[in-house]
Structures are given as structure tokens and as C-alpha cells.
């Protein structure tokens, strides 16, 4: 009888622990920062994203700072709750008035870096203006 009780107790403990992990996942505790910033110096991914933003003329519609205008969204606001997956879909497939960049190899290959840069701008960590890559 004691063995049966201990077996059931172990199973119940495992169920409670798994339920707790579902309610309070510890993934965010171990997540690495998306970007590194020191003033106007940023990590390689954010720097590459900034270069893509500039060279592929994203600022023509979203302004140089990403703050948008009357006809185009403020990326600093939209990126606050934007998942990387949704961001990729919008960039690659297009969305409403934004056209698809699926034929632009620079953007397709650097879409994750572009996400990092814009997320850092949205979080207020990456300043507007010229950036330098951390060495």
C-alpha cells in the first residue's frame, strides 16, 4: 500500500509541476537579450538591420526614424507587440498597402536583423540616427 501511495504521489507531483510550467513558463528567465546597445553602438544584428532599413529605403514610407506619417504606420508603436513570425510574414508577403519584399534578397536574408533593429527602436534602447557596430 505504501508503494502505491508513493507512486501516486510522484505522478501527482509531476502533474502539478508540469501545470505550473504551463502557467509560469521559465523560458523568459533564460532568454537572451535580443540586442546589445551602448549609446550609438549596437551589436552586429541591429547594425545590419539598421543598414537594411536605410539602404532598402524603408524610411521613404516609415520616415528615417521609423515613426511613420499620416499614410504609413509608426513602426515604433506597431513593433511593441509584433512577433518575429508576424513581422516576417508582413515583410515577405506584404500587408495592405505595404508591398511584398519576397523578391528582394537583401531584405529576405536580413529580415531577422531588421526585426532586431526595429524592436530595439521600439523599446527605446536603440537611438535614432547613425549607428556604429560594436567590435
Q: Beta-carbon neighbour count of residue 74 at 10 Å?
A: 15
Helix (H, G, I), strand (E, B) or coil at 96: coil
The pLDDT of 6-33, averaged and rounded, is 52
Place of cell 521600439: 122
CA–CA separation, 58 vs 68, rounded Å? 10
pLDDT in tens, 75-118: 999 999 999 999 999 999 999 889 999 999 999 999 999 999 99
Residues of the chain with CATH 1.10.760.10: 35-133
CA–CA separation, 112 vs 104, rounded Å? 14
Q: Is residue 11 predicted with pLDDT exceeding 70?
A: no
Please give the pLDDT value at position 7: 55
Model confidence, pTM: 0.76
CA–CA separation, 115 vs 87, rounded Å? 7
Q: Which residues contact 46 (CB under 8 A, 6 or more apart)?
A: 35, 36, 37, 113, 116, 117, 120, 126, 131
Determine the topology of domain 35-133 in CATH: Cytochrome Bc1 Complex; Chain D, domain 2 (1.10.760)
Residue 34's alpha-carbon distances to 29, 117, 120, 121, in angstroms, are: 13, 9, 8, 12
Please give the pLDDT value at position 51: 98
Residue 31's alpha-carbon distances to 25, 26, 35, 46, in angstroms, are: 11, 9, 12, 17
Please give the pLDDT value at position 97: 87
Please give the pLDDT value at position 3: 61
Please give the pLDDT value at position 2: 59
pLDDT in tens, 25-67: 444 455 678 999 999 999 999 999 999 999 999 999 999 999 9
The pLDDT of 114-134, averaged and rounded, is 97
Please give the pLDDT value at position 33: 84
Q: Beta-carbon neighbour count of residue 63 at 10 Å?
A: 15
Amino acid at each position: 500500500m505504501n508503494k502505491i501511495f508513493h507512486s501516486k504521489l510522484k505522478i501527482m507531483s509531476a502533474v502539478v509541476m508540469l501545470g505550473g510550467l504551463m502557467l509560469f513558463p521559465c523560458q523568459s528567465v533564460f532568454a537572451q537579450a535580443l540586442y546589445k546597445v551602448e549609446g550609438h553602438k549596437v551589436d552586429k544584428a541591429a547594425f545590419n538591420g539598421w543598414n537594411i532599413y536605410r539602404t532598402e529605403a524603408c524610411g521613404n514610407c516609415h520616415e528615417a526614424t521609423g515613426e511613420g506619417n499620416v499614410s504609413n504606420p509608426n513602426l515604433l508603436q506597431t513593433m511593441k507587440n509584433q512577433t518575429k513570425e508576424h513581422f516576417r510574414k508582413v515583410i515577405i508577403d506584404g500587408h495592405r498597402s505595404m508591398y511584398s519584399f519576397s523578391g528582394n534578397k537583401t531584405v529576405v536574408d536580413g529580415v531577422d536583423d531588421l526585426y532586431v533593429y526595429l524592436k530595439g527602436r521600439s523599446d527605446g534602447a536603440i537611438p535614432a540616427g547613425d549607428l556604429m557596430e560594436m567590435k
